Chain A
Amino acid sequence: MSHWWNQIRTRLALTYRQKIFLLTALPLVLAVAAISTVVTIQSRQLAAREIRELETQLIDAKRAELKNYLSLARTAIGSIYGNAAPDDEAAKLEVTQILSAMIYGQDGFFFVYDYDGNNLVSPRQTFLIGKNWKGLSDLNGVSVVDTIIRAARSGGGYHAYDWAKPSTRETARMVVYVIGLQDWKWALGTGIFIDDVLSTVAAAEAEVQARIQKTFIYIVLITILALIGVFLAGLLLNLHERRLADAKLRALTERIIDTQEEERGRVARELHDSISQILIGVRYALELARKRVLGGDPKASVSLDKGIEGLTEAIHEVRRISADLRPGVLDDLGLGPALKSLIDEFARRTEIKTEFKTVVFRNLLDKDAKIALYRIAQEALTNVERHAKATHVSIEVFGHRNGATMRIQDNGTGVVDNSAREGVGGLGLRNMQERIDQLKGTLRVLSSENGTIIEASVPLSHMLSPKSKAKAPDTKPRKSA
């Protein structure tokens, strides 16, 4: 169960942005699908009911019409039929003639069958006349003549069946109304083709269908527009963020270049001002010594001593500048000793009380983490010295299951305002944040008027695994020259 789910998840491997998009788009699509389904079903039902009603109304109208026609015919033959005996053939003939003449409309006519099934009147389809049609049924097997006669016997009624139109010979649905002339055992009826009703209904049905389809298309279009909207909004947001990130990156690059140049200028100045001056002094001393040696002057050793003294001074200067740039302790012995060295030097310089705690392990952080944490500590101590008015500072480094953490705590005045601590000389809290961000670590700054706690943590991924510890920390990389 969870196995295939994981497989799907790893195969999909959505980015955060895609997830957000899905989260917006999926409910939208689902909601729209649900709404359109409900709308479609309901409007179909409504339309079907309306159409059924329309059909009933139209057919009822036709039936009423039929009844009127028939009553007209009944009136027309009323006097003859009323006065005739059951076997008055002359009256019967007269009645058939009257009824045959009463044709109306395109396909309207009256017909008469006797109760035995013989056709007596059929003015538009004369081939029926005089023949017995008992048992006749339409193409669908619906009994025609027998049912008509049965309806006539029972006084009168409607029947419907398919019948060929006299005018066009097309088969169409027909509704008939029959009454019985019981004295003569005749079934007198008339019929109307209702294919126009059916086509009206079909047209109405088609119209409804088209309307539903149109609604559906509208919904789909609106959905697509909404999706495009979401997508575009996401894109714009993305673009905006990227632009912001670009601007940030540019600012950072600028700052890096500035810092680099400043640093280079400082190193160049130091080399020029201190070391080269000292070395020039040494050179003068040595030249003087040579002169004295050549001249047999016993004061030669005084000049040599002066040269040696100058060289020692130069060595000290180089050591100082080099340690300033990048403390060797950090690379050789690790973060703990480097921090210890840093905070001891800090204590000597500022006379602020310090405390330092570290772990039993050495050199377990990778180079990036070591340098970042060291620089953060340096930055924090600079801040303490310049702004915090603290009397006590402690640095603690400890490892835990999630990585390593460095905590720097002072009892100073706290970070009053970020801008107050940024800018002047160092790059401040923002610089710390950027350094720790690069390591995917976290930086927490807690500040009040009773002091500041800065906690920088790096994840386990920046701790060297014991396997790669085969190389000892005091080993230096092979130089190419």
Chain B
Amino acid sequence: MNSIVRVVIVDDHPMVADGIRAILESYDDIDVVTTLSNGLEIVDRVAELAPDVILMDLNMPQMGGLSATEILLEHNPQTRILILSMHNAPEYVSTALSHGARGYLLKDVPTEKIHDAILAVMRGETYLCGGASASLSPNISDGREALTAREQTILLQLAQGKSNKEVAADLDISVHTVETHRKNIKRKLGINSTAGLTRYAMEHGVLQGTGVEF
């Protein structure tokens, strides 16, 4: 384990970002590389900045924290992302975790908890601060598991008849990643064929206006 943890803060509120930065910089084992103001910036610059941990707000202009988390993980599944949010509803926590975040912190926790969380994530643990508890994921009517935003986008594209390659080009990810998503979707829905996926989407009313008809 490196002695100094490289941290990037992504938050569109300068007061918050600067505040966290000031606090974290008071710790010797943490180096705040930079602060960014939305998801798109971190997606663009993650390779260059090479952070160990990303502290990410949820609601941001252009690209929010959940989408950014999924995209960052598509490119590098080892990316450690800590969600830092004002929202304490359990649904946020479970959604963040289902999108691949390593931890969930409320902004109003005592600041030493942020330091604790960073270290815990570096040790490979999942960190939830006090006051943030994950809700059990909501029961799906037919007993299936909820899709992430990315999986949903890909399901809808596949259901419209696009190939892995086309989806990959459209979302600017590798065909391999699309294939992984596709496997996850099929596992979650318990459906084996693309035609089955299309039918499932159709029967749930989510393919309207796409020109796909039966």
* Residue of B90, B189, B205 with highest tally of chain A CB at under 10 A: B205
| B64 nearest in chain A by CB position | A474
Give Cα A480 to B67, complex, Å: 23
Is A463 in contact with B208, judged by CB distance below 8 angstroms? yes
Q: Which residues in window 326-381 of A have CB below 8 A to B?
A: 327-329, 332-333, 336-338, 340-341, 344, 355-364
A3 CB-CB contact with B under 8 Å: no
| A344 nearest in chain B by CB position | B135
* Residue of B62, B91, B139, B160 with highest tally of chain A CB at under 10 A: B91
Residues of B within 8 A of A363 (CB): 149
Interface-side segment among A119-127, A214-222, A394-402 = A394-402
A-B contact number at CB 8 A: 146
Is B138 in contact with A465, judged by CB distance below 8 angstroms? no
A323 CB-CB contact with B under 8 Å: yes
A169 CB-CB contact with B under 8 Å: no
B86 CB-CB contact with A under 8 Å: yes
Is B86 in contact with A474, judged by CB distance below 8 angstroms? no
Q: Which residues in window 9-55 of B have CB below 8 A to A?
A: 39
A477 CB-CB contact with B under 8 Å: yes
Is A344 in contact with B147, judged by CB distance below 8 angstroms? no
Is A475 in contact with B108, judged by CB distance below 8 angstroms? no
Q: Quick one: given A329-B89, A329-B91, A341-B91, are A336 and B138 in contact (CB under 8 Å)? A: yes
Is B58 in contact with A466, judged by CB distance below 8 angstroms? no
Q: Which residues in window 164-211 of B have CB below 8 A to A?
A: 188-189, 202-210
* Residue of A319, A340, A475 with highest tally of chain B CB at under 10 A: A475
Q: Quick one: given A363-B149, A466-B157, A466-B210, are A332 and B205 in contact (CB under 8 Å)? A: no
CB distance from A178 to the nearest CB of B (A): 96
CB distance from B203 to the nearest CB of A (A): 6
| B151 nearest in chain A by CB position | A360
Is A472 in contact with B141, judged by CB distance below 8 angstroms? no
Q: Quick one: given A362-B146, A466-B156, are A333 and B95 in contact (CB under 8 Å)? A: yes
A312 CB-CB contact with B under 8 Å: yes
B100 CB-CB contact with A under 8 Å: no
B63 CB-CB contact with A under 8 Å: yes
Is B60 in contact with A476, judged by CB distance below 8 angstroms? yes
Is A474 in contact with B58, judged by CB distance below 8 angstroms? yes
Return the contact of B108 from the options A315, A323, A355, A362 (Cβ within 8 A). Answer: A315
| B171 nearest in chain A by CB position | A470
Give Cα A332 to B65, complex, Å: 11
Residues of B within 8 A of A477 (CB): 61
Is B67 in contact with A472, judged by CB distance below 8 angstroms? yes
Residues of A within 8 A of B66 (CB): 472-474
A9 CB-CB contact with B under 8 Å: no
CB distance from A11 to the nearest CB of B (A): 26
Q: Quick one: given A474-B59, A475-B60, A476-B59, are A396 and B206 in contact (CB under 8 Å)? A: no
Return the contact of B153 from the options A337, A402, A469 (Cβ within 8 A). Answer: A469
Is B92 in contact with A329, judged by CB distance below 8 angstroms? yes
B1 CB-CB contact with A under 8 Å: no
Is A341 in contact with B67, judged by CB distance below 8 angstroms? no
A404 CB-CB contact with B under 8 Å: yes
Residues of B within 8 A of A332 (CB): 58-59, 64, 87, 92
Secondary structure at the B interface, as helix, strand, loop or mixed, is loop
| B131 nearest in chain A by CB position | A316
Return the contact of B144 from the options A360, A466, A479 (Cβ within 8 A). Answer: A360
Is A344 in contact with B90, judged by CB distance below 8 angstroms? yes
1/0 contact string of A312-323 vs chain B (CB within 8 Å): 100110010001
CB distance from B53 to the nearest CB of A (A): 20
Return the contact of A467 from the options B63, B144, B204, B209 (Cβ within 8 A). Answer: B209
Residues of B within 8 A of A333 (CB): 91-92, 95
Is B149 in contact with A364, judged by CB distance below 8 angstroms? no
B76 CB-CB contact with A under 8 Å: no
A157 CB-CB contact with B under 8 Å: no
Return the contact of A469 from the options B95, B138, B156, B189 (Cβ within 8 A). Answer: B156
Q: Which residues in window 366-425 of A have CB below 8 A to B?
A: 396-404
CB distance from A193 to the nearest CB of B (A): 89
Is A358 in contact with B203, judged by CB distance below 8 angstroms? no
CB distance from A25 to the nearest CB of B (A): 39
Is A319 in contact with B88, judged by CB distance below 8 angstroms? yes
| B170 nearest in chain A by CB position | A470
| B189 nearest in chain A by CB position | A360
Is A360 in contact with B188, judged by CB distance below 8 angstroms? yes
CB distance from A345 to the nearest CB of B (A): 9
Q: Quick one: given A332-B59, A361-B152, A398-B204, are A338 and B188 in contact (CB under 8 Å)? A: no
A77 CB-CB contact with B under 8 Å: no
Q: Which residues in window 82-99 of B have CB below 8 A to A?
A: 86-92, 95
Is A360 in contact with B145, judged by CB distance below 8 angstroms? yes
Residues of A within 8 A of B160 (CB): 466
Residues of B within 8 A of A474 (CB): 58-60, 64-67, 149
Give Cα A478 to B144, complex, Å: 35
CB distance from B95 to the nearest CB of A (A): 6
1/0 contact string of A207-241 vs chain B (CB within 8 Å): 00000000000000000000000000000000000
Residues of B within 8 A of A404 (CB): 205
15 more A-B contacts (CB under 8 A) besides A332-B64, A400-B205, A474-B65? Answer: A323-B89, A336-B138, A357-B141, A358-B139, A358-B140, A359-B204, A362-B147, A364-B206, A397-B141, A401-B202, A469-B152, A472-B149, A475-B64, A476-B59, A476-B60
Contacts A/B (CB < 8 Å), 17 sampled: A319-B86, A319-B88, A327-B89, A329-B92, A333-B91, A333-B92, A337-B95, A341-B91, A355-B139, A357-B139, A358-B140, A361-B152, A364-B152, A400-B204, A463-B206, A469-B152, A476-B61
Q: Tell me the A residues contacting B by CB distance below 8 Å.
A: 312, 315-316, 319, 323, 327-329, 332-333, 336-338, 340-341, 344, 355-364, 396-404, 460, 463, 465-467, 469, 472-479
Q: Pick the 10 closest A-B CB pairs, nearest first.
A: A474-B64, A399-B204, A337-B91, A472-B67, A466-B156, A465-B209, A399-B205, A357-B141, A315-B108, A460-B208
